[in-house]
Amino acid sequence: MRTIKIFDTTLRDGEQSPGASMNVGEKLQVAKQLARLGVDIIEAGFAIASPGDFEAIKRIGGEVEGPVICSLARAREEDIKRAWEALKDTQKRRIHTFHSTSDIHLKHQFRVSREEALKRSVEMVKLAKSFTEDVEFSPMDATRTEINYLCEVVEAVIAAGALTVNIPDTVGYSIPSEFGAMIKTIFEKVKNIDKAVIAVHCHNDLGLATSNSLAAVLNGAGQIECTINGIGERAGNCSMEEVVMALRTRRDIFNADTNIKTEEIMRSSRLVTKITGMYVQPNKAIVGANAFAHESGIHQDGLLKEKSTYEIIRPETIGLHKTKFVLGKHSGRHAFRTRLNELGYALNDDEVNSAFERFKRLADQKKEIYDEDLEILVTEEFTTVPEIYSLVDLNASAGIHLRPTAVIKLKVSEELIEKTEHGDGPVDAAFKAIASITGTKSKLLKYEVKAITGGTDALGEVVVSLEEDGKSVTGHGSDTDIIIASAKAYINALNKLAARKK
């Protein structure tokens, strides 16, 4: 089985996505996670592009251990020297230089002949080689380059010392059968092909970046250039998580794998999302919110019986805890009953059937049914939540020059208890006083306020979500005084937690 190298360019090509720029500290944070993920090469930036990119490459090279650290450089002397300055103190380093080879680029952008482009490419590979042994070359817009000329360039740069030659589908123009055939032809026609690794760098303009990369692997490519979440210029790059999991899942087809620690995939995806602000679409393969979510009753029933019926990847493999069952109008009794059991409700068959009918009516009104909806549905029909804690009195004060304070009096079973607490605001002070009286260790997940009616005398409703020991509940409270409404909602949630424990 072959090991395919993963060349991650999130910090270079990925950062070229509009609005995805990162500062030095953010780049360093992502680079450290990429090292934990196990990528082979990190393209840390484009040294000559900006002082920030130069500094990022230098710091990543000095602080990140494991992967080879790479800088991009145009086939220009000043670019390559700048790349070397950024990389010279790095233990494992690579200079990646490139020049266009397609006639459309050479004629309209560079205004040079094929011969001039070939000569410059060879010269700059030799210059890069004088600084470091590990040199990569890319014939930009390779998929629109005449194949014989492309092979001539590849052979020449390998002879000049390039240890990796990357074949980029720069504008996402190719399709898998065509791209695979191109890689195969390169292997057949380039005489010194055994002296270098053939890499591929595919863009996603036609939605084929991952497919093209996999077609290249089937035809001999040994390195894939990709980004976390598939970010990058225009429609993005080959998605790292997609190509890695395709190779891992279908080893029977590719006879190849990578060094990626797949359990770090979700953490890497979420970090890049957080730093760049580029959110992943819900139906995105592998890392989308719906990738391991099921609503169909047929699918849920099958999964509850045997995971492999509808899942080809275990969620734990990429760092998720479990499959998510989304309860909605397509869900069946099996999933409904299973979720009630997980929430601690043991209902008999008649009770399940009765609750399931109410659930279906509610599901026609809502897109998704949450645990809190199920709790209300079941408790309203079959149980009453005992009021262990009840609000007797509340006195809160706050102002520009006053420290927010709340005095709370609760009835706990039959005992009256009063506490005074300070907080960041009157609601915070009230919550602290209630928590002190009840001794709760719960975590406040959500605090939401909305007006039920209009006007300054509006009745306000507060919704709070609490979590304790992995179980979450929602409490509701309403009053014309929003602080009282908040206290009621918090106490309502605490009563539900207490009932859940019993």
Structure tokens that stand for 63 in this block: 């602080």
Q: What angle is formed at CA 133 by the lines to CA 199 and CA 67, rounded to 5 degrees?
A: 60
Length reported for the chain: 502
Structure tokens that stand for 399 in this block: 């102002």
Domain with residue 325: its CATH number is: 1.10.238
Q: What is the pLDDT of residues 340-371, one digit of tens each?
A: 777 767 778 888 788 788 777 777 766 667 66
**Last-in-domain residue among 332, 352, 382:** 382
Q: Do 10 and 228 form a contact (C-beta atoms < 8 A)?
A: yes
Q: Write out the residue range of the structural domain in which residue 495 sits.
A: 389-501
- The dihedrals phi and psi of 159, each to the nearest 5 degrees, come to -60, -30
Domain check: are 8 and 106 in the same one?
yes
The one-letter code for the residue type at 386 is: P
Domain check: are 438 and 487 in the same one?
yes
Model pTM score: 0.70
Domain check: are 241 and 305 in the same one?
no
Integer Cα distance of 163 and 295 in angstroms = 49
Q: Do 487 and 480 form a contact (C-beta atoms < 8 A)?
A: no
- The dihedrals phi and psi of 113, each to the nearest 5 degrees, come to -80, 170
What's the DSSP call for residue 326?
P
Q: What is the pLDDT of residues 460-491, one digit of tens each?
A: 778 898 988 877 787 888 788 899 999 999 99
Integer Cα distance of 1 and 50 in angstroms = 41
Domain check: are 145 and 259 in the same one?
yes
Q: What is the pLDDT of residues 234-284, one digit of tens each?
A: 999 999 999 999 999 999 999 999 999 999 999 999 999 989 988 888 889
* C-alpha closest to that of 167 among 194, 146, 138, 145: 138
Q: What is the pLDDT of residues 390-441, one digit of tens each?
A: 999 999 999 988 999 999 999 998 899 999 999 999 999 999 999 999 999 8
**Last-in-domain residue among 251, 276, 301:** 276
Integer Cα distance of 491 and 388 in angstroms = 9
Domain with residue 63: its CATH number is: 3.20.20.70
Q: What 3-state class would DSSP assign to 343? A: coil
Distance of CA 165 to the CA centre of its chain: 29
